[in-house]
Amino acid sequence: MAKTPTVFIDGEAGTTGLQIRERLAILPGIAVRSIDPARRKDPEARRALMAEVDLVVLCLPDEAAKESAALAASLGDAAPRLLDASTAHRVNPDWAYGLPELTAEQPALIAAAPRVSNPGCYPTGAILLLRPLVEAGLMPADYPVCVNAISGYSGGGNAMIAEYEGRRAPDFEIYGLGLTHKHVAELQHYSGLTRRPIFIPSVGDYRQGMIDSIPLHLDTLPGRPKPADIEALLAARYAGSEYVRVVPATPKLEPQALNNTNLLELRVHGNEALGQAVLTARFDNLGKGASGAAVQNIGLMLGIAVETRLPAAAE
Ligand SMILES: NC(=O)C1=CN([C@@H]2O[C@H](COP(=O)(O)OP(=O)(O)OC[C@H]3O[C@@H](n4cnc5c(N)ncnc54)[C@H](OP(=O)(O)O)[C@@H]3O)[C@@H](O)[C@H]2O)C=CC1
Ligand SMILES: CC(=O)N[C@@H](CCC(=O)OP(=O)(O)O)C(=O)O
């Protein structure tokens, strides 16, 4: 009988790590190995456990993720495969980008890669909206894109959760107004844009759920497409996708409807007479934006079927 693959989640007590652990706990095809909590930041203890497992999932701040990747590399031939949930390696060509829906080839690249970087929450939705348009020539690569987004406060990890749940944070705020948010690099790179997009995130007083929205003046696009043309392009691109769905436009949209799932909905809200449209992507920042996506990638990397929903949502 084939050996059950083993996984160590480095950072399993954090927001993302905990949700990956909960999802993996119900899978019979994977054995999760945990570190002694007292030694969870001890490099030697982490390195020793890395040597014993097939796959390490990094759910750490960027600097700690880089340190962990170096610890794994120091094991040479005994190094485990890595899946990094942080921002540290997302545009590093030595790491596969863990967005299986990016291209037809991406699932096979992820399945074979020694190192995979899980995408950022905000870029996941924006890339899935933009890349097909750029590839089809419907949007020029140098188009001046603006992405607005809202996240639940769990997107800021344990520190932001404590601020909101301790009533020490505003009900709503926009941020990243220096225009240098850490997600812009991967958003631009994997969308295929040559001009740096403007990205304006915001966070509200609710735990989880995310919407990216991208306004378009259709008369500035080649061929002046109608909203229905864009919707048809996206629908054809994601036909048959297990998790990404193109669904009808709605006059209003709230961000929490897909929580605890790995689903992502794309919409084209448009007004043909005005020549304007807004593209939206709705998903769970902790689901397809983090832990659900990580479990999807773990399934591809280990070649096993996985359940990407949280156990409560799967009932
Ligand atoms: N939350 C989200 O929606 C998303 C998060 N991510 C990314 O996932 C990663 C983890 O984020 P998140 O779970 O939100 O963060 P949290 O702050 O909730 O968790 C991080 C965990 O890492 C631990 N940790 C910190 N430094 C070390 C270290 N040197 N060695 C071992 N453990 C360490 C922390 O312990 P302690 O608290 O004791 O310091 C904590 O348990 C980040 O890179 C984040 O950017 C990605 C997508 C979405
Ligand atoms: C609300 C909030 O603060 N969100 C975080 C993004 C979530 C995150 O940490 O994302 P990645 O690890 O995927 O890059 C932020 O804007 O920095």
Does residue 163 carry a pLDDT above 70?
yes
What pLDDT is stored for residue 314 in this prediction? 62
Whether the per-residue pLDDT at 271 is higher than 70: the answer is: yes
pLDDT of residue 94: 98
Ligand 1 midpoint to CA 105 (Å): 30
Q: Say if ligand 2 is within 6 A of residue 120 CB.
A: yes
- pLDDT above 60: residue 296: yes
Mean pLDDT, rounded, of the chain: 97
Q: Which ligand is nearest to the CA of 293?
A: 1
Do 207 and 154 touch, CB atoms closer than 8 A? yes
Residue 1: band (very low, low, confident or very high) from pLDDT cuts 50, 70, 90: low
Nearest one of 256, 262, 251 to 292, comparing CA atoms = 262
- Cα 67 to averaged position of ligand 1 atoms, centre (Å): 13
What number does the ligand 2 atom closest to the CA of 153 have? 1
Q: Is 200 in the pocket of ligand 2 (CB under 6 A)?
A: no
Distance 156 CA to ligand 2 centre (A): 5
Within 6 Å (CB) of ligand 1, which residues are found? 11, 13-17, 40-41, 59-62, 64, 85-87, 121, 154-155, 157-159, 285-286, 289-290
**Which segments within the chain are labelled E, that is strand?**
6-10, 31-33, 55-58, 81-84, 96-97, 115-117, 146-152, 172-174, 198-204, 210-217, 244-246, 264-271, 276-283
**Residue 199's pLDDT band (cuts 50, 70, 90):** very high
Q: Number of C-alpha atoms within 13 angstroms, CB side, residue 132?
A: 22
| pLDDT for 28 | 87
> What is the residue with the minimal CA distance to atom 39 of ligand 1?
14
Residue 186: predicted pLDDT: 98
59 C-alpha to center of ligand 1: Å? 5
Q: Which residues are catalytic?
A: 121
Average pLDDT for 187-201: 98
Mean pLDDT for the stretch of residues 191-206: 98
Distances (CA, A) of 10 to 83, 159, 303: 10, 18, 21
| pLDDT, tens only, 65-94 | 999 999 999 999 999 999 999 999 999 999
* 315 pLDDT above the threshold of 60: no
Which residue has a Cα nearest atom 29 of ligand 1?
64
Q: Distance between CA atoms of 235 and 59, rounded to whole angstroms?
A: 33
- Going by pLDDT thresholds of 50, 70 and 90, the confidence category of residue 313 is confident
- Percent of the chain at pLDDT > 70 equals 99
Average pLDDT over residues 158-172: 97
Res. 167 pLDDT band, cuts 50 70 90: very high
Atom of ligand 1 nearest to the CA of 12: 41
78 contact partners, CB below 8 Å, separation of at least 6: 51
Task: Tally the residues of the chain.
Answer: 315
Cβ-based neighbours of 89, under 8 Å, separated by 6 or more: 65, 66, 69, 95, 115, 117
Ligand 2, atom 17: nearest CA belongs to which residue? 156
pLDDT of residue 3: 87
Quick one: which atom of ligand 2 is closest to the CA of 85? 12
User: What is the pTM for the complete model shown?
Assistant: 0.97
Q: Whose atoms come closest to the Cα of 122: which ligand?
A: 2
